[in-house]
């Protein structure tokens, strides 16, 4: 029998092939040693490095130096403890500085109030009325969030606040504009800031069909604009607000700004006559310019079951950025109350009386709007 041919390792079982991965014509040293039985040469051990001279140990900082280092600000990587962590004192200093930025000088008291608020809210220790109004959430969150917008962005100036009754039921009737009903939110805020009372808006059914918006509207004191709810709140001594123009007013084009639309059938007047409360006309100038409507996508509006889908100079061209309202100057004027307690409750069924009072309220608001427009220097100041 012929002698067996010895094939070096790493050749893939084919003779004459160099060792795999060597890149050379000959097999690697390891492969040759295995094939011939000759032990491979071992690598020489590396020589140990010469020891360096010991560096002098830095002196530990004194208490005065440590205090100065803490006062300088956050620790650097060189200031860290041997374990690599940030000192607890530095963490506490950073937290305290952040709390002072958020809550101000009296941050400890404000933080304690916030924690107490969160605790009793989680425990369910709060009250809402039969309409879902949550006074605490409205005052501490909604109105607090709206206040900087009203004071710094729109710079709202209020006139005739003394005409708002400080107690008992009353009906505030206002013009409506702005594409989005921001004027209603600003009215809620200013009535509370001027009188300390909470305004109870009457909203359209669309408000209570939009997710999240419906819950917030209920929490802020709004209810559906129906005769029964309006009369019930007025009889309970609430300050109720209504915008009779509805979507016709808030969605009208910029070319028709400050021209009041029809006030409906005068349902708000009937509610005031039945309950004997005064009607306080309110005129708002400035809301027309926050989202100037130059077009209306009626086809898409019908598709989404909306009363209108506005086109402004910035929306939808600029996307979400186009939803930022323009900083127009606002003027609010509350007119003298129109009394209804001199009429009998049954006279609320008289259509001519209801029409006359409705027209009187509408004409009062319209004439006041013209006066305010003449007094305003410009749209933005």
Q: Is the pLDDT score of 343 beyond 80?
A: yes
Q: Which residues of 215-246 are buried (b: 16+ CB within 10 A; e: fewer)?
A: ebbbbbbbbbbeeebbbbbbeeebbbbbbbbb
CA dihedral angle for residue 101, residue 105, residue 110, residue 115, rounded to 10 degrees: 50
pTM confidence score? 0.71
Q: What is the pLDDT of residues 185-224, one digit of tens each?
A: 999 999 999 999 999 999 998 899 888 899 999 999 999 9
Q: What is the pLDDT of residues 351-381, one digit of tens each?
A: 999 999 999 999 999 999 999 999 988 898 7
Q: Where are the domains of the chain?
A: 138-290+325-375
Place of tokens 């009072």: 357
Cβ-contact 188, 156 below 8 angstroms = no
* 254 Cβ neighbours under 8 A, 6+ residues apart: 288, 292, 293, 294
CA distances from 270 to 1, 10, 163, 266 (A): 124, 102, 21, 7
The residues facing 237 across adjacent strands are none
pLDDT for res 75:
46
Q: Is the pLDDT score of 164 beyond 90?
A: yes
- State the pLDDT confidence band at 48, using cuts at 50, 70 and 90: low
* 326 Cβ neighbours under 8 A, 6+ residues apart: 289, 290, 291, 292, 380
* pLDDT: which is higher, 238 or 45: 238
* 372 Cβ neighbours under 8 A, 6+ residues apart: 283, 285, 331, 333
Residue 283, classified by CB atoms within 10 Å of its CB into exposed (0-12), middle (13-18) or buried (19+), is buried
- State the pLDDT confidence band at 59, using cuts at 50, 70 and 90: low
Containing H/E element for 224? Answer: strand 223-224
pLDDT for res 9:
52
Q: Tell me the Cα Rg of the chain.
A: 39
Containing H/E element for 126? Answer: none
Q: Is the pLDDT score of 78 beyond 60?
A: no
pLDDT for res 12:
52
Per-residue pLDDT, averaged over 120-126, amounts to 71
Kindly report which listed range (38-42, 165-169, 300-304) carries the lowest average pLDDT score: 38-42
Chosen CATH of 138-290+325-375 out of 3.30.572.10, 3.40.50.970, 3.20.20.70, 3.40.1130.10: 3.40.1130.10
| CA 60 remoteness from chain centre | 51
* pLDDT: which is higher, 342 or 61: 342
Residue 361 CB coordination number (10 Å): 23
DSSP 311-376: E-SSTTTTGGGGGSPP----EEEE---B--TTS-GGGGG-HHHHHHHHHHHHHHHHHHHHHHHHH-
* pLDDT: which is higher, 78 or 155: 155
Q: Is the pLDDT score of 327 beyond 80?
A: yes
Q: What is the pLDDT of residues 254-264, one digit of tens each?
A: 999 999 999 98
Place of tokens 């006309």: 281
What letter does residue 262 receive in the DSSP assignment?
A: -
- State the pLDDT confidence band at 250, using cuts at 50, 70 and 90: very high
């Amino acid at each position: 029998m012929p002698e067996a041919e010895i094939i070096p390792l790493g050749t893939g079982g084919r003779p004459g092939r160099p060792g795999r991965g060597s890149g050379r014509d000959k097999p690697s040293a390891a492969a040759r040693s295995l094939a011939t039985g000759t032990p491979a040469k071992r690598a020489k051990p590396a020589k140990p490095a010469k020891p360096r001279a010991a560096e002098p140990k830095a002196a530990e900082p004194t208490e005065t130096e440590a205090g100065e280092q803490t006062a300088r600000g956050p620790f650097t990587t060189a200031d860290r403890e041997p374990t690599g962590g940030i000192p607890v004192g530095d963490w506490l200093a950073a937290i305290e500085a952040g709390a002072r930025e958020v809550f101000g000088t009296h941050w400890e008291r404000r933080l304690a109030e916030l924690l107490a608020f969160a605790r009793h809210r989680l425990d369910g220790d709060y009250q809402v009325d039969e309409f879902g109004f949550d006074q605490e959430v409205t005052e501490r969150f909604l109105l607090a969030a709206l206040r900087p917008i009203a004071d710094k962005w729109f710079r709202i100036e209020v006139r005739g606040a003394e005409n708002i009754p400080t107690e008992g039921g009353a009906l505030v009737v206002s013009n409506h504009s702005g594409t989005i009903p921001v004027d209603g939110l600003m009215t809620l805020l200013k009535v509370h800031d001027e009188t300390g009372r909470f305004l109870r808006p009457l909203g359209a059914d669309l408000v209570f069909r939009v997710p999240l918006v419906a819950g917030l509207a209920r929490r802020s004191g709004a209810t559906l604009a129906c005769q029964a709810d309006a009369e019930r709140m007025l009889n309970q001594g609430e300050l109720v607000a209504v915008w009779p123009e509805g979507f016709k007013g808030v969605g009208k084009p910029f070319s028709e700004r400050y021209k009041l639309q029809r006030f409906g059938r005068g349902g708000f007047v009937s509610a005031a006559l039945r309950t004997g409360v005064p009607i306080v006309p309110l005129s708002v100038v400035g809301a027309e310019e926050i989202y100037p409507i130059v077009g209306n996508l009626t086809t898409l509006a019908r598709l989404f079951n909306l009363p209108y889908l506005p086109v402004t100079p910035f929306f939808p061209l600029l996307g979400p950025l186009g939803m930022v309202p323009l900083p127009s100057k606002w003027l609010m004027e509350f007119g003298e109350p129109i009394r209804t307690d001199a009429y009998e409750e049954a006279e609320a069924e008289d259509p001519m009386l209801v029409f006359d009072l409705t027209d009187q309220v509408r004409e009062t608001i319209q004439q006041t709007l013209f006066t305010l427009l003449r007094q305003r220097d410009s749209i933005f100041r």
